[in-house]
Chains A and B, each alone.
Chain A
Amino acid sequence: NAGVMQNPRHLVRRRGQEARLRCSPMKGHSHVYWYRQLPEEGLKFMVYLQKENIIDESGMPKERFSAEFPKEGPSILRIQQVVRGDSAAYFCASSEQAFLNTEAFFGQGTRLTVV
């Protein structure tokens, strides 16, 4: 959905570098979700944020991964010291309310390749 903007679309990082993925939700949406799609696997929940708050990070790896959604600007998913296993498509979704009988709007995804 063109309304949720993710950038970059493609990102190549060497092992050990940092990856920063950005997500601008649709206008008026204050709920942001990050999902990861590993090659040949289904989408998996990572983290749910509202403005300035992490609501649920139960799907985030314990180390190297962090997310924020500041008062101003996009939501950022940050992966430190990337490894080959981090190669995946990362999708952001936003909604006007929490996902309770509301439609999900997804971005185009960021495809991270770690070399």
Chain B
Amino acid sequence: KNEVEQSPQNLTAQEGEFITINCSYSVGISALHWLQQHPGGGIVSLFMLSSGKKKHGRLIATINIQEKHSSLHITASHPRDSAVYICAVNQGAQKLVFGQGTRLTINP
């Protein structure tokens, strides 16, 4: 079992729909990151969380430390949101441990 599990692995939705991507982890962490990767592109950091909730534009990230669970929400989704979304956790200072990613496709 991976230390960081994301669900779903693939998600297809229509433009305008509310999107939720989930991340569960089994190790102690100091922080959790949500990252975005476009096909053939680099990796962009969306959020870093250690507690509570953060919002940036149409993106919202929440974390429940007790339940070892985080969610990434996208409101009013748009085709340009199509990408792979990756959850990663700080396992000590040295390294990030990554989930497998969720491939999101938003159809017009």
Partner of B44, one of A59, A106, A111: A106
In the complex, the answer to whether A98 meets B42 with C-beta atoms within 8 Å is no
In the complex, the answer to whether B90 meets A91 with C-beta atoms within 8 Å is no
Complex interface residues of chain B between 41 and 99 (CB less than 8 A to chain A): 41-45, 48, 50, 86, 88, 90, 92-99
Partner of B98, one of A44, A55, A56, A105: A44
What residues of A have a CB within 8 angstroms of the CB of B40 in the complex? 111
Complex interface residues of chain A between 70 and 105 (CB less than 8 A to chain B): 91, 93, 98-105
Partner of B35, one of A41, A45, A106: A106
Q: Quick one: which of A44, A99, A106 has the most chain B CB within 10 A?
A: A99
Measured CA separation A104–B101 after assembly (Å): 17
Shortest beta-carbon distance from B78 to chain A in Å: 22
Interface size on A, residues (CB 8 A): 27
What residues of B have a CB within 8 angstroms of the CB of A107 in the complex? 42
Q: Quick one: which of A43, A48, A103 has the most chain B CB within 10 A?
A: A43
Indicate with 1 or 0, residue by residue over A31-55, a CB within 8 angstroms of chain B CB atoms: 0010100000111110010000001
| B100 in contact (CB, < 8 A) | yes
Complex interface residues of chain B between 17 and 41 (CB less than 8 A to chain A): 30-31, 33, 35, 40-41
| A25 in contact (CB, < 8 A) | no
Measured CA separation A50–B35 after assembly (Å): 23
Partner of A48, one of B94, B98, B99: B94
Given contacts A42-B86, A42-B98, A106-B35, contact A99 B42 (CB under 8 A): no
B positions within 8 Å CB-CB of A:
30-31, 33, 35, 40-45, 48, 50, 86, 88, 90, 92-101
A positions within 8 Å CB-CB of B:
1, 33, 35, 41-45, 48, 55-56, 59, 91, 93, 98-109, 111
The 20 sampled A-B contact pairs (Cβ below 8 Å) are: A1-B42, A1-B44, A43-B86, A43-B96, A43-B98, A44-B98, A45-B96, A59-B95, A93-B96, A99-B94, A99-B95, A100-B31, A100-B93, A101-B48, A101-B50, A103-B33, A103-B45, A104-B96, A106-B35, A109-B41
